[in-house]
Amino acid sequence: MTKQIRQLDRVVIRFAGDSGDGMQLTGDRFTSETAQLGNDISTLPNFPAEIRAPAGTLPGVSSFQVHFADYDILTPGDAPNVLVAMNPAALKANLADLPRGADIIVNTDEFTKRNLAKVGYASSPLDDDTLDGYAVHPVALTSMTIGALAELDVSKKDAERAKNMFALGLLSWMYSRPYTSTLRFLERKFAKRPELVAANVAAFKAGWNFGETTEDFAVRYEVKPAKMPPGTYRNITGNAALSLGLVASGVRSGLPVFLGAYPITPASDILHELSKHKRFGVTTMQAEDEIAAIGAALGASYGGALGVTTTSGPGVALKSETISLAVALELPLVIVDVQRAGPSTGMPTKTEQADLNMALFGRHGEAPVAVIAPKSPSDCFYAALEAARIALTYRTPVILLSDNYVANGSEPWLLPDVESLPDLRVEFATAPNGEDGTTFLPYLRDPQTLARPWAIPGTPGLEHRIGGLEKADKTGDISYDPTNHDFMVRTRAARIETIPVPDIEVEDPDGDARVLVLGWGSTYGPIGAACRALRQRGLPVAQAHLRHLAPMPANLGTVLASYDRVVIPEMNLGQLAQVIRARYLVDAIGYNQVRGLPFTAAELETMLEEVLKNV
């Protein structure tokens, strides 16, 4: 039958089901197909912390949301236009997020009395008025998948598992996605089991053909490619981009990269990714605990490598003593904190920005470090390069504050020309630097950077002492002299405060805004989308975003003083707002949430509209 094709400018789709239903894989494949068409993309994976949550229960629901458009987008979307619900738990967990009129594709085979009872449904929502106002498409995904594979040599269990490919085929047909890359992916993934290749390919094609032939879907949709700068793009997650940024840092500095890491959600993917790049001089070590991981990384820096350690909030707490040691030793070290909801173990698979205070102040004594936060998945690549630049140039630990939202989200990334990346080469000390020509002074500083010499152990004539006890200026001898300690503390602080960082840029198109929205990290997308929507309605509002949190841009105070109101949305209880108030005496308005979820553009737009009314 001939079906109508309707053009759309944007779509938000959410795949939801049990952890074992393959929703992350399904969403990832749909995203890859969409990337091939050239749409702008933003994704939001959401999965339970429990490794094996009870099947069919609300805590076990896993989802993947993808937003794609024919123009540049900033967020994964506030609300889905389409929900694919593989069972009653997936429907109940996500229904409140759907606007009226949204499409719901429901796997009717899973709406049994037992599964309905697990999530508190007294009757099936497919049979009462629960879904009134939505466009409901009942599809027997499981049984149709089993039927499509009946002639193949696969077990019923393996046939049932392929139902996510049926759903992917149906959605790929609905939104006119290419699918040859998915078929190639399945051939690679199940290369050792040809029967599973055949089963998943057959399920995918069955879903596609079902869309083509069923009368329930009378319309197909198309979303044209977005207009983007020319070049080669790939879809990339924040953790993958950060990993490649560290690889590029090694290449551009000419140094081996050493990663000491202990597996922890949501940072483990960086360890997995970097372990693939040995050919670029990357060495990875999975340590027995967080303390051993950072100790090995600091030792690698002492030996002349770019030392890196990756973790999340609980791990940063354990690493704090060694970070302080790195401050005293004045050696380069990159500490990646992929933030998650806390305190303690908290909610490991949910996002938060609540480690800022720990990054800025969470060490004993006066132990300042540089702090950087990427704003988006692709920006993680450049943030990693910047962290390495500061660490290597100024011989200091640098904390890179990513978070779960940025780390697991994805977007198109324009591959850079390697030669355009910053030159990170360093000069090691090779000869004595004392006035007598024979003495090595390990704490004789560069007058511009205040960095001390970096001497590789074993270099003849450059033997020197390291350790956590306070060092004497220039000589590096152990010192308990009060005046020397005061001098060394102030010098280490000055080294951080005088690091030149780019001025903060303000997006204020007409120059008449009286309200400035200041963000950091992953709030960039929702803030930008909200400000864009307000400007389209004729409401002037300015936006600025902090990448460097220590030191802060030199012009920040002037920018803040230029506006009547400064609003700071954060996924914490106001940590940046406290710093801004203390340092710049600006009565910033905090807008805070700690729900384990990113802001939506709509909630920020509503909040900012109220602020604008009262200026």
For the chain, the domains span 4-223, 234-420, 427-500, 506-613
Please say whether the beta carbons of 295 and 466 come within 8 A. no
Mean pLDDT computed over 404-416: 97
Which residues, at least 6 apart from 594, have a Cβ–Cβ distance to it below 8 Å?
Answer: 341, 352, 354, 571, 572, 573
- Per-residue confidence (pLDDT) for residue 30, from 0 to 100: 97
**Edge-first strand listing for the sheet containing 61-69:** 40-46, 61-69, 10-18, 82-85, 103-107, 135-139
- pLDDT tens-digit map of 35-77: 999 999 999 999 888 877 888 999 999 999 999 999 999 999 9
Please give the biggest Cα pair distance in the chain. 92
Q: What is the pLDDT of residues 310-347, one digit of tens each?
A: 999 999 999 999 999 999 999 999 999 999 999 999 99
* 1, pLDDT greater than 90: no
Mean pLDDT confidence for 582-587 = 97
Mean pLDDT of the chain: 96
Question: Given this model, what pLDDT does residue 54 score?
Answer: 87
Q: Which residues contact 160 (CB under 8 A, 6 or more apart)?
A: 142, 145, 146
Dihedral, CA of residue 371, residue 375, residue 380 and residue 382, to nearest 10: -80
| Residue-level pLDDT at 322 | 98
For 165-188, the pLDDT digits (tens) are: 999 999 999 999 998 999 999 999
Q: DSSP assignment, residue 87?
A: S
**Contacts (Cβ under 8 Å, ≥6 apart) of 280:** 247, 250, 251, 257
Domain covering 4-223 assigned CATH 3.40.920.10 in the classification: yes
pLDDT at 611 over 90: yes
Q: How far is CA 163 from CA 61, 77, 309, in A?
A: 16, 26, 39
pLDDT of residue 465: 84
The reported pLDDT for the residue numbered 230 is: 93
Q: Quick one: pLDDT at residue 335?
A: 98
Are 4-223 and 234-420 the same fold in CATH? no
CATH number for region 506-613: 3.40.50.920
The whole-number pLDDT of residue 51 equals 76
pTM: 0.95
Whether the ω angle into residue 442 lies within 30 degrees of 0, i.e. cis, is: no
| pLDDT tens for each residue of 353-363 | 999 999 999 99
Cis before residue 263, ω within 30 degrees of 0?
no
Helix axes 141-148, 194-213, angle to 10 degrees: 120
Superfamily of domain 234-420: Thiamin diphosphate (ThDP)-binding fold, Pyr/PP domains (3.40.50.970)
Q: What is the mean pLDDT of residues 154-164?
A: 94
Round to whole Å and give the CA distance between 610 and 612.
5
Q: What CA–CA distances, in Å, run from 141 to 56, 111, 121, 134, 147?
A: 16, 11, 21, 19, 10
> How far apart are the C-alpha atoms of 56 and 415, rounded to whole Å?
41
Q: What is the pLDDT of residues 456-515, one digit of tens each?
A: 999 999 999 889 999 999 999 999 999 999 999 999 999 999 999 999 999 999 999 999
